[in-house]
Amino acid sequence: MNTEAGTAIRLNPFKGLAGPEGTPVPWSPYGRILEQRPVFTLDPLFHAGCYYVQDSSAMFVGHIFRRALASVGRPGIRVLDLCAAPGGKTTDLAASLREAFGDEFLLVSNEVMKDRSRILCDNVAIWGDPNVMVTSADPAAFGRFPGYFDIIVADVPCSGEGMFRKDPKAVEQWSEQTVQLCAARQKRILADVWPALRQGGVLVYSTCTYEDCENDANLEWAATGLGGDIVAPKDEFSDWGVEITRHGNLLRAGVVPGEGQWAGMLVKTSPEGSCPRSDLSQSIKPLRYGIPTGTLKGGKLIPDPDYALSLGYRGEYPTIELDRRQALAYLHHDALRFPEAPRGFNLVAYRGHPLGFVNNLGTRVNTLHPLARRILMNIDQVE
């Protein structure tokens, strides 16, 4: 527990697998464990959505999800990532779904906390998958759509013991009372969302704690009290320190390369009730869904900044290729000039990866990069 926390990334397979080199994460096909932590803010590929910075243990939930996908996956599959911020698991699920089914899936990424949902929106936009809907709703709101989802991933709030090595506040906030409160809240979350899972669908349940009452015992409670069959865990990565518990896999910080994580799953056996009467997005207003190409202003189409980052970008704008210094200057919102480039809207890219749009006026350019995503760090140190 006193060893230093590691650093890992997960590459975006739909943006060229570009990013820092590292040791493969055994349970994640695109995960990489880095020898040291670089300054990600100063890497334009990070801002282009070419990779996501995610703890290697957290990637284990994606591995369990892919097991679920192999058993119940089908074209048109609908998945709910219930407690999704900041977006690591959502981007992992989205990549797995797109690899399996192309455009034929819906992933609803939900975060009930409004401030965290804004971070989730940004990370989903940068990752660029248009089939991800971001919502900010209480779990009970999804319960009004019986049998709507084939898979629900619930990485629930917990007592956070797996974060002790990484986050001193997690140590300060821990108590036996907190553990009991978390276990009770987790039961409420599962009970509230349970109707939304179809009969035969899969619940992937995970925490970042070691407490049995929040992990195995809660999965047992869901199976008995809500109606489900627990799927036995596999002993696949014991050489990497992954343990088998009664009903799941446990990763302990300092034993595995990453932090603490527990994950298990069960198949719903209870009836799902009546079918939903309306479309989900009509009843639970999404914060974002799909990627708009732009907005009309004064008869002119202004490209949407997120369209540049979307996997659905069709390449209709001229491209200005930037070097690293220019790319960081663009992300820093510095003044730039491209006198040789076509007038009007241009895509700017780094190593072929889109970063955003500019309106080239000849003597100067107006950036369309969102102000909220502007780099605040000093970039003068970059050559």
At residue 328 the predicted structure's pLDDT band, cuts being 50, 70 and 90, is: very high
Q: Strand pairing of 77-81 and 149-155?
A: parallel
Domain covering 7-283, topology: Rossmann fold (3.40.50)
2-19 per-position pLDDT tens digit: 788 889 999 999 999 999
CA distance 126 to 134: 13
8 A C-beta contact, residue 316 and residue 286: no
State residue 278's pLDDT score: 60
Residue range(s) in the chain whose domain bears CATH number 3.40.50.150: 7-283
261-287 per-position pLDDT tens digit: 999 999 999 987 665 556 778 778 899
Residue range(s) in the chain whose domain bears CATH number 3.10.450.720: 291-373
Q: Which DSSP state fits 223?
A: I
8 A C-beta contact, residue 119 and residue 86: yes
28-41 per-position pLDDT tens digit: 999 999 999 999 99
Q: The tokens 């900010």 sit on which residue?
A: 136
What is the edge-to-edge ordering of all strands in the sheet holding 51-53? 23-24, 31-34, 7-11, 51-53
Query: If you average pLDDT over residues 215-239, what whole number do you get?
Result: 97
Residue 79's DSSP bridge partners are 107, 151
**Mean pLDDT, all residues of the chain:** 94
Which residue is catalytic, options 50, 121, 208, 275? 208
CATH architecture of 291-373: Roll (3.10)
Query: If you average pLDDT over residues 241-252, what whole number do you get?
Result: 97
Residue 208 annotated among the catalytic residues of the structure:
yes
3-state secondary structure (DSSP) of residue 293: coil
Q: Model pTM?
A: 0.95
